[in-house]
Amino acid sequence: MVMDFEESSCSTQFELGELFSKRKNELRDYKQTFKWYKKAAINGSRKAQHRLGTMYARGQGVSQDYTQAYAWCKVAVFQNSKHAKRKLEVIEAKLSLEQLRRGRWLAQEYYDKFITHRHSPILKNQN
């Protein structure tokens, strides 16, 4: 059944991620949650981008990576996510200057690759 959703809309992919993340403790599947949030994030869901960043920050379903966490939350911020903006401030405090530069670069890359064709472009100098 889940395979039928591989090419579905980002909102359906996001809801699948929610389904796997909201299960009772013994049935929760962070790897599946991560998989579906990432698909939805790539397809433009700012909620999924925020949640993906949170999963990277917590190391849920993926190795902990604050640079990736920053990048995905920043993409959600580019799309006006207030929740991601608050998360971004917490993550930024954990990064070295080099990690912050890398996170900003990745965020711009992800935005250009996955979002620009869906929305108007952002300013390249935006931090």
> Cα dihedral angle (76, 70, 125, 83), rounded to 10 degrees?
40
- The total number of structural domains in the chain stands at 1
- Burial of residue 1 (number of CB atoms within 10 Å: 0-12, 13-18, 19+): exposed
Averaged pLDDT for residues 97-116 = 95
User: Is 91 or 126 the better-scoring residue by pLDDT?
Assistant: 91
- For 64-91, the pLDDT digits (tens) are 999 999 999 999 999 999 999 999 999 9
- Confidence class for position 98, pLDDT limits 50, 70, 90: very high
Is 126 within a domain?
Answer: no
Is 122 within a domain?
Answer: no
Is 120 within a domain?
Answer: no
Residue 94: domain span: 2-115
Is 86 within a domain?
Answer: yes
- Confidence class for position 6, pLDDT limits 50, 70, 90: low
What is the C-alpha separation between 70 and 61, in angstroms, rounded? 17
The CATH number of residue 47's host domain is 1.25.40.10
Q: Using a cut of 0.95, tell me whether the model's pTM lies above it.
A: no
- For 31-69, the pLDDT digits (tens) are 999 999 999 999 999 999 999 999 999 999 999 999 999
**Mean model confidence pLDDT for the chain:** 85
Q: Can you read off the two tokens belonging to residue 75?
A: 């993409």
Is 125 within a domain?
Answer: no
Is residue 60 within 8 Å of 46, Cβ to Cβ? no
What's residue 58's pLDDT?
96
Residue 19: pLDDT above 50? yes
Residue 5: pLDDT above 60? no
Averaged pLDDT for residues 116-125 = 55
112: Cβ contacts below 8 Å, ≥ 6 apart: 121
Is 123 within a domain?
Answer: no
42-to-38, 39, 49, 103, 113 alpha-carbon distances in Å: 6, 5, 8, 16, 9
